Structure 1
Amino acid sequence: MHDHLYLLAFLLLAFPATARAADQPPPNFVFFITDDISAEDMETYGGPIPTPNLDRLAARGVTFDNAYVTASSCSPSRCSIITGRYPHNTGAPELHTPLPRDQWKFPGRLRRSGYHSVLSGKNHMSYNGVQEDESNLADAFDRILRGGRPSGSEDWVKTLRNRPKDQPFFFWFASHDAHRAWQLNEKAPRFETQDVVVPPYLVDGPKTRQDFRGYYHEVARTDFYLGLLLDELADEGITDNTFVIFTSDNGRPFPRCKTRLYDSGAKVPLVIAGPGVAMSKRSASLASLIDIAPTVLELAGVAIAEQFQGVSLLPILRDPDSTVRDYLFAEHNWHTYPANERMVRFENWTYIRNHNHEDQNLCAESADRFPAGAELWEAEANGLLASQQRDVFLKPRPFEELYDVQADPDQFNNLADSPEHSEILAELRDVMDRWCEQTGDSIPSKPTAVIGNITPGRRGEFPGASNDASHRLHPGPILRKAN
């Protein structure tokens, strides 16, 4: 009797719930990750930039209305996605930090299970501030193609067509759009200043509107290349057996957006379509981009190793009203300016803790080197800014911030000092404390203090390093009832 139970348990572990029929081929995957795009700007999310091809994808799948990165910063976000781990657990929590070779990468799990795996376009997981060393990704991809600017997407259709036809595939297609500096071409429409919707925390002036015109063009260009991929999948007759995942590494590259833990920086588009996915549905459930790794592995029928801290989104793909996590977390570490912020999102609440609150909260895009930043700094110098436009100038900042994101989507009204919200504040403080403890997060005794670009040897201590967090496996709190 016990032998039969042990055999049944083994079979359940060896063959996941998504196991395919014997005559069904393994599914293919296209993972399309854009650069520096906020969800709210895209028409699919009610924004001003037409995205007809993303709408096409959404009609065949699930659109996540509450998807968040773990770091609103290029390379830490990408390293987190590919490992399914929080930035301080990857060994690469800061900008331009190469991912350590001993970190497990989910495309490598697919590759060892027979998948043809290619990265094409922007890498940013191997760059150390001076040069790229792609050997740290050699176990994850059969090929790494460096698509250049303006888009980095030009060889994607060719990659699809010329793949080995006797293998399922996983393609990590990484666009350079919409990253500064803007480069316009004929692949997307040109926008006029009157087309621009300026967020209320920026100056609605000519420089900012001109700046957004370039951003809008590059966002629209990502949609153009998505359309080419969808067309090619259809032409080859493999749409019905291919999962397409569309997302971004962080929010738009403007002041108070990129690098920040507000929704303008940390909330990104996420649309998933493929075989068995609910069609033309939206989900309000929380989703973290560390959930991509276990999701893809489960869909492929590949075992999910305990190194992955995310949770599979498969239940939501089948039933968009279901929930796989009550809490999600994000962090802000050094990105051209010193930083140490942590965020937890729960229901309609966002709680932020800032251990670097004595300083301004800046990044390259919030300085005056780009038009929107320049116009913001000029208005500040002339005393013309409204209170909600002065965020990047605050010094000191609040140590704690609490927002009701449903009532206050731009996160202007900090409720941390409100007596009537003391109960939820205390709860999220505790959740944050447990996440930091369980995942091995720490406040560096000698943090990176460099302002601007960095070269190897000039970094300080990484968050989590003193706790060997890069080898911690605990995922931290996920479900409220389980904690």
Structure 2
Amino acid sequence: MILKLLKPLLFITSLGLALPSYSNAPPNIVLIIADDLNWDDIGAYGHPNIHTPNLDNMAQNGMRFDSAYLTASSCSPSRSSILTGRYPHNTDAEQLHWDLPLSQTTFSEKLKEAGYWTGAAGKWHMGEAIKERFDMVREAYYGNGSLSGSSEWLALLDYRPKDQPFFLWLAAWDAHRPWVPGQKDLPHQHKQTDVRLPPYYPPTELYLNDFVNYYDEISRFDMNVGKVISKLEKQGIADNTLVIVIADNGRPYARDKTTLFDSGVKTPFIVHWPKGIKQKGSTTKSIVSSIDLSATFLDLANVQKPSTIEGKSFKDLFQTPNKPFRQYAFSERNWHDFEDHARTARSKRYRYVRNNYNDLPATPSGDTVYHETWDELIRLYDAGMLNMHQSRPFIAPRAKEELYDLQNDPYELYNLVDDPKHQRVLVEHRDALDNWIKESGDFIPSIRTPDDFDRLTGEKLPPRKRPRPPKIEQYGKSGKY
């Protein structure tokens, strides 16, 4: 009798097929994306006053990445880059609101082909066509019953097939403008005394109150992340579910969102995975890029990485947090409501920025420019009441190159390009960026894209066609910098 039972098992083994076991099962994967959240506006990253108990608990019992960077500080290009594992200029969706074309390969479709059930819920922002790369997409529209964008997150966890591993893309609207103070679903009400204002903003009553509203939205995002973790625990699958929380770009203010400073492209990166993280409460300072998420997810699922993916797997960091991974993280700025073109290389200590359209001021995003905080900034600038750091969004021409020592200058206020003591560092970072430009096939568009708004008033300009400009040769060879 025992022999009869063993015969099918021996036959399966002879074919080279592995028997399923929980210990070797690929993890479920959940990626949660905040909207316009600065990396250090979370308790786990040192903010003493923002109420983020769930994210803090994730970091205390999971893993915190301290050197994680996005490829763009712009919503839809950043998301398309994550989904494809490619730099924005290679996605054909490098400008804001450009749909991700079907010609692009996504890691979600590769997981789907490998037997994962794939779902997305919340903010989408990558076009209609690419939704077919998921088994289900439940898009939440701002103000349509879900100010946070999280209304369908838990429903997706309930709906998923229970006999398949799954990948979920859960995207919030929090903390994107507009903010609606006093909502009943806000878990915490912050006060002016909670605000830690960066030195490049004027400490006016308006700015302080606006930051209070921003903090409240972060707490709501934190609350909804906690609900996901709780649901996974109730379903009995938390131990083998990898949950990663990131943002798509920095906070929605001038000098943050759409910039290539840390406050634009550095992201919070918190991991919850009881089964997969060697030491709970661990941190890693190894540099990772958002393009590495795709390669890592596929690696964990034992799926071969397609040649289109430019990222690489950081799976080993979960077991060996101090293992070196990247020497540089590269990010880019393209059109986002206003024309611009810039590139950056970030090392462990330094950031190098190259402004290709330095004749233009560093105007922030449209949702910043048509907000009253921008009007306040203009009023103070016209009155000569801003210091040089607070005035930077209005200055043109800008420096062609910028170099910052983040160890001594965490707010990136003092450009060291002309400092004789930093010439060797400058050359090293120039070379690193040039090599990346060549290797990734980067380019400067042959024509500039019109602005959507007036750069000072925020007034919507008459509609003008925004064609996808043809690419020219790699600008590392074009002599344009």
TM-score normalised per structure 2: 0.88
**Counterpart residue number, 1:137:** 131
**Counterpart residue number, 1:213:** 212
Shift of 1:211: 1.1
Shift of 1:251: 0.2
Pick aligned residue for 1:170 from 167, 171, 176: 167
SS of corresponding position for 2:67: strand
> What stretches of structure 1 of length at least 5 have no aligned partner?
1-13, 127-133, 470-483
**Counterpart residue number, 1:42:** 42
CA distance 1:43–1:23, change in 2 (3 Å): closer
The correspondence of residues 226-237 of structure 1 with structure 2, limited to 5 A, is: 226-237=225-236
**Counterpart residue number, 2:94:** 93
Check whether the contact 1:449–1:460 (CA below 8 A) recurs between aligned residues. no
Count of aligned pairs between the two proteins = 443
The correspondence of residues 14-25 of structure 1 with structure 2, limited to 5 A, is: 24-25=24-25
**Counterpart residue number, 1:461:** 469
Check whether the contact 2:65–2:285 (CA below 8 A) recurs between aligned residues. yes
Provide the C-alpha distance between the structure 1 equivalents of 2:464 and 2:283, rounded to a whole number of angstroms.
44
The correspondence of residues 298-377 of structure 1 with structure 2, limited to 5 A, is: 298-364=299-365, 368-377=369-378
Provide the C-alpha distance between the structure 2 equivalents of 1:372 and 1:51, rounded to a whole number of angstroms.
25
Check whether the contact 1:70–1:266 (CA below 8 A) recurs between aligned residues. yes
Q: 1:207-248: per-residue Cα shift (whole Å, max 9, x none)?
A: 111111211111111100011011111111111110001000
Shift of 1:365: 5.3
Provide the C-alpha distance between the structure 2 equivalents of 1:154 and 1:366, rounded to a whole number of angstroms.
23
Provide the C-alpha distance between the structure 1 equivalents of 2:20 and 2:258, rounded to a whole number of angstroms.
40
SS of corresponding position for 2:427: helix
Residue type of the alignment partner of 1:461? P
Shift of 1:59: 2.4
Provide the C-alpha distance between the structure 1 equivalents of 2:111 and 2:122, rounded to a whole number of angstroms.
20
Provide the C-alpha distance between the structure 2 equivalents of 1:97 and 1:151, rounded to a whole number of angstroms.
23
Check whether the contact 2:50–2:190 (CA below 8 A) recurs between aligned residues. no
Check whether the contact 1:446–1:460 (CA below 8 A) recurs between aligned residues. no
Provide the C-alpha distance between the structure 1 equivalents of 2:23 and 2:53, rounded to a whole number of angstroms.
35
Which segment is superposed worse, 76-85 or 316-325? 316-325
**Counterpart residue number, 1:130:** none
SS of corresponding position for 2:245: strand
Q: 1:423-474: per-residue Cα shift (whole Å, max 9, x none)?
A: 1111111111111111111111212123337978423516xx33599xxxxx
**Counterpart residue number, 1:186:** 184
Residue type of the alignment partner of 1:458? R
Residue type of the alignment partner of 1:300? A
Check whether the contact 1:260–1:332 (CA below 8 A) recurs between aligned residues. yes
Shift of 1:366: 8.1
Provide the C-alpha distance between the structure 1 equivalents of 2:71 and 2:211, rounded to a whole number of angstroms.
25
Provide the C-alpha distance between the structure 1 equivalents of 2:209 and 2:369, rounded to a whole number of angstroms.
15
CA distance 1:146–1:210, change in 2 (3 Å): same
**Counterpart residue number, 1:154:** 151
Check whether the contact 1:32–1:172 (CA below 8 A) recurs between aligned residues. yes
Residue type of the alignment partner of 2:44? T
**Counterpart residue number, 2:4:** none
SS of corresponding position for 1:39: coil
**Counterpart residue number, 2:296:** 295
Shift of 1:368: 4.6
Check whether the contact 1:259–1:265 (CA below 8 A) recurs between aligned residues. yes
Provide the C-alpha distance between the structure 2 equivalents of 1:163 and 1:414, rounded to a whole number of angstroms.
51
**Counterpart residue number, 2:9:** none
**Counterpart residue number, 2:5:** none
Are 2:277 and 1:277 aligned? yes
SS of corresponding position for 2:472: helix
**Counterpart residue number, 1:479:** none
Residue type of the alignment partner of 1:224? M
Provide the C-alpha distance between the structure 2 equivalents of 1:312 and 1:137, rounded to a whole number of angstroms.
25
Provide the C-alpha distance between the structure 2 equivalents of 1:175 and 1:116, rounded to a whole number of angstroms.
21
Shift of 1:386: 1.3
**Counterpart residue number, 2:29:** 29
Provide the C-alpha distance between the structure 1 equivalents of 2:311 and 2:442, rounded to a whole number of angstroms.
16
Check whether the contact 1:80–1:86 (CA below 8 A) recurs between aligned residues. yes
Residue type of the alignment partner of 1:43? G
Compare CA radii of gyration and give the structure with the larger one. Answer: 2
Q: 1:278-309: per-residue Cα shift (whole Å, max 9, x none)?
A: 32111111111111101111111111122111
Residue type of the alignment partner of 1:167? Q
> What stretches of structure 2 of length at least 5 have no aligned partner?
1-15, 454-459, 476-481
CA distance 1:204–1:148, change in 2 (3 Å): same
Check whether the contact 2:31–2:170 (CA below 8 A) recurs between aligned residues. yes
Provide the C-alpha distance between the structure 2 equivalents of 1:368 and 1:260, rounded to a whole number of angstroms.
14
Residue type of the alignment partner of 2:65? F
